[in-house]
Chain A
Amino acid sequence: MTETTADQIFGDAPARPPFDPELVPVLEAVRQAMPSLSAETLSLARQQSADGFPGMEPVDLTVGGAVTVEERQVPGPEGDPDITLLILSPAADGPPRPAVYHTHGGGMVIGNRRLGVEMFLDQVAAGNAVVVSVEYRLAPEHPDPAPVEDCYAGLVWTAKNAAELGIDPGRIMIAGASAGGGLAAGTALLARDRAFPRLSHQILICPMLDDRFETHSSRMLDDEGVWDREANLFGWTALLGERRGGPDVSPYAAPARATDLTGLPRTYIDTGSAETFRDETLTYARRLSEAGVSVDLHMWGGGFHGFDLMAGHAAVSRASVATRDEFVRRALEG
């Protein structure tokens, strides 16, 4: 098969902001530990994300017994297989709680329902929330619309079964990072257009929103940083095949293509200034605001993609995590 590389499509990479000095050593370690995602490295990356990455300790999802961990098989989209939901609830009894419906990251092609849920674990352990994380089918074996429709089906089941799960059905928010941020935004568009369920917030963390590679930032990382244009092209092509960049891509797959952003939930959206998704994040935030949605937008100078979880000790990471955690805390407070 003929390989179309980002180089051939886009030519020289335009300027990018410098990476934050404190992040640079970690960025180099990350790049050594994980090969850039491509057809050749996909199976290794899937294996790593299933087994845990080198040096990463498995997270105790029960938080020493404060959290009940449950998995449920629930109906998938009409005519498709069932999907698995990971459900994390406070072990202590209490009134119905708000829910965080979580769509994991991994470029649309790797990862599973456990990836990234620890971000909300403290809130569950404190009795403030129930987390539901969906195991959606992955591209390229399952191209669009399988991933986003799985996410939506899991959300519908969660909302319909809120009472049994101890969830307040009026207070469900959706959250995801990277490809999970794109899927969260796409699922929120589906929920709006299908008029169920109503979401209170969308938390879009360095989200993957745009398959077109027309922005400056989508072209500026050429074999540097994390999730460069080559990896991004691989992810989008896995999801959309030959439709990528063309006229037949739905806004649920690539939310940047949505022409109408009215009626979407209260939004938190963030990005690093030195990452591929920067411009699509900034544009989505501006367009949501123009559509009358209340938006909190944060761009962190010098941040590479996923900097605040990969280099959590750095000052800029602590600022980013503290800001987001505080937003989530207020959102759960209602």
Chain B
Amino acid sequence: MRDLIGKLEVVDDDTASALRVIDHFDRLVDERASTAAVVRAAAALAGATAGLHDAARAVVKRFAPDGRARTGTTEGDWRHEPVPGHPGSWLWLERAGEDGPLDALILERAARALQALSTGSSSPSAGGLVRIACDPDATEADRRDAVARLGLTGPVTVVLSPSANLRATLISSVGALVVALLPGAATIPEGVRAGAATASDPMRLPTALEQARTALRLAGEVGGLAPAVVRYEDLGALAVIAERISAEEAAGVGDVRRLDELLAGHPWVVDTLHAVLDQPSLRQSAAMLHVHHSTLQERLTWLSGQLGYSPAKGRGRQRAAVAVLLWRVAHGTDPETVAESH
């Protein structure tokens, strides 16, 4: 069973690759690996020579992607990644040409690993602590310890995203998702599809994680009309639907099936319904859709005929709102659930 594995180098910027990078450095910290091992891992993952300038010890370490030590200091003008808590220490990748897809993430995680390893204690990595704090199966004592080590005291917001672009200081992976913990009244990062929930007390993080998962199921795509970031607290009664109804069940509801049928030939259907339900007037709905008022009127007339109810008013409006919500439940499944259902 030799020769059975590829290179470590990450060549994609997909979530799986990002999680591989995050997990790799977390494990090095958990195993109390050496400083040199962290630099070698950065080089192997990036597929480029990596270097560490350690001012306090006055050393420079450089390694090629195959782990070979390289001598001499580098002449190039590489971007410095400071090692937190170590003034005068920084990491770099000697990348000629374009950056690799995850160079920034590799450097950031390597720097944080070096910071964690220099504490001298045998505590788990920050990523490991995040996982323990959010794990419903962790003992209360372990969770209390993890929460304390992470320095969490007041409210904490859990952000769960399928995107590797979610960046935060306290970050880890849960299944195929990236999880970030934002202490206090931190702003939720934009530009990613995410669900968020706030734990009033950090000991309640496992519940908040499940709530963030629920919120994620209702999040729209980045750049779409529906918000890409959904807070559980904003859902209220709507959360009950996402919690109690599975994606398969939602997809089987007649009104949802009808939306899917119409979408096949008319990609604007759900966005149009969203705008109509979201805005107080049809004029504002039309503006949101960037279409003319009369175009929206034509669409609504057509939709009423196709759906058998009028989505713009009265009971029809309520029915359309529930149908669109269930449609999101049917389609907003997080990757982990997809994997489990196979």
Hey, which bits of chain A sit against chain B, CB under 8 A?
21-22, 24-26, 28-30, 33-34, 37, 48-49, 52-57, 105-107, 115-116, 118, 177-180, 205-206, 226-227, 231, 305-306, 309-315, 317-318
B67 touches A116 (CB 8 A): no
Q: With an 8 A cutoff between CB atoms, is B225 at the interface?
A: no
Q: With an 8 A cutoff between CB atoms, is B114 at the interface?
A: no
A313 touches B27 (CB 8 A): no
A21 touches B3 (CB 8 A): no
Q: With an 8 A cutoff between CB atoms, is B7 at the interface?
A: yes
B5 touches A29 (CB 8 A): yes
> Interface segment, B34-42, B96-104, B148-156?
B34-42
B67 touches A309 (CB 8 A): no
With known contacts A313-B44, A313-B65, A306–B33 Cβ distance under 8 A? no
Pick from B2, B25, B31: contact of A177, CB below 8 A: B2
B5 touches A231 (CB 8 A): no
B33 touches A310 (CB 8 A): no
A53 touches B1 (CB 8 A): no
Contacting A at CB under 8 A, from B1-41, are: 1-9, 11, 20, 23-25, 27-28, 30-34, 36-37, 40-41
A29 to B4, CA, bound (A): 12
Q: With an 8 A cutoff between CB atoms, is B66 at the interface?
A: yes
A107 touches B1 (CB 8 A): yes
B7 touches A178 (CB 8 A): no
Interface size class of B (residues with CB under 8 A): 20 to 34
Contacting A at CB under 8 A, from B210-254, are: none
With known contacts A29-B20, A105-B1, A314–B7 Cβ distance under 8 A? no
Pick from B6, B31, B43, B66: contact of A56, CB below 8 A: B6
Q: With an 8 A cutoff between CB atoms, is B68 at the interface?
A: yes
A28 touches B1 (CB 8 A): no
Q: How far is the CB of B283 from chain A (nearest CB, A)?
A: 53
Instruction: Map CB proximity to A onto B59-86 as digits: 1 under 8 Å, 0 otherwise.
Output: 0000101111000000000000000000
Q: How far is the CB of B32 from chain A (nearest CB, A)?
A: 6
Instruction: Map CB proximity to A onto B175-216 as digits: 1 under 8 Å, 0 otherwise.
Output: 000000000000000000000000000000000000000000
Neighbouring B residues of A314 by C-beta, 8 Å: 37, 40, 67
Hey, which bits of chain B sit against chain A, CB under 8 A?
1-9, 11, 20, 23-25, 27-28, 30-34, 36-37, 40-41, 43-44, 63, 65-68
A305 to B5, CA, bound (A): 12
A159 to B24, CA, bound (A): 47
Neighbouring B residues of A33 by C-beta, 8 Å: 5-6
> Which partner residue on chain A sits nearest B68 by CB separation?
A318
A77 to B170, CA, bound (A): 62
Pick from B27, B34, B44: contact of A24, CB below 8 A: B27
Can you list 10 A-B pairs with a CB-CB distance of less than 8 A?
A22-B37, A25-B23, A28-B23, A28-B27, A29-B20, A48-B4, A177-B2, A205-B2, A310-B5, A313-B8
Neighbouring B residues of A56 by C-beta, 8 Å: 5-7
A34 touches B36 (CB 8 A): no
A313 touches B6 (CB 8 A): no
Q: How far is the CB of A22 from chain B (nearest CB, A)?
A: 4
> Which partner residue on chain A sits nearest B67 by CB separation?
A313
* Chief secondary structure at chain B's binding surface: loop
Neighbouring B residues of A49 by C-beta, 8 Å: 4
Pick from A25, A177, A178, A226: contact of B27, CB below 8 A: A25
B28 touches A21 (CB 8 A): yes
With known contacts A25-B23, A28-B23, A315–B31 Cβ distance under 8 A? no
A-B contacts besides A25-B23, A105-B3, 6 pairs, CB < 8 Å: A26-B8, A105-B1, A106-B1, A118-B3, A309-B3, A313-B44
With known contacts A29-B20, A56-B6, A306–B1 Cβ distance under 8 A? yes
Q: How far is the CB of A223 from chain B (nearest CB, A)?
A: 15
With known contacts A21-B37, A24-B31, A25-B41, A318–B4 Cβ distance under 8 A? no
A26 to B43, CA, bound (A): 14
> Which partner residue on chain A sits nearest B40 by CB separation?
A313
A315 touches B36 (CB 8 A): yes
B28 touches A315 (CB 8 A): no
The 6 A-B pairs at the shortest CB distance, nearest first, are namely A55-B6, A313-B67, A21-B31, A56-B6, A21-B33, A306-B2
A22 touches B4 (CB 8 A): no
B67 touches A317 (CB 8 A): yes
A116 to B34, CA, bound (A): 30
Neighbouring B residues of A318 by C-beta, 8 Å: 66-68
Of B5, B23, B24, B34, the most chain A CB neighbours within 10 A belong to B5
B1 touches A305 (CB 8 A): yes
A313 touches B3 (CB 8 A): no
Pick from A24, A53, A205: contact of B4, CB below 8 A: A53
Neighbouring A residues of B8 by C-beta, 8 Å: 26, 29, 311, 313
A22 touches B20 (CB 8 A): no
> Which partner residue on chain A sits nearest B7 by CB separation?
A55
Q: How far is the CB of B121 from chain A (nearest CB, A)?
A: 16
A22 touches B28 (CB 8 A): yes
Neighbouring A residues of B25 by C-beta, 8 Å: 25
A227 to B11, CA, bound (A): 28
Neighbouring B residues of A54 by C-beta, 8 Å: 6
Q: How far is the CB of B7 from chain A (nearest CB, A)?
A: 6
Q: How far is the CB of A27 from chain B (nearest CB, A)?
A: 9
A306 touches B4 (CB 8 A): yes
Neighbouring B residues of A48 by C-beta, 8 Å: 4
Pick from B4, B9, B24, B34: contact of A25, CB below 8 A: B24
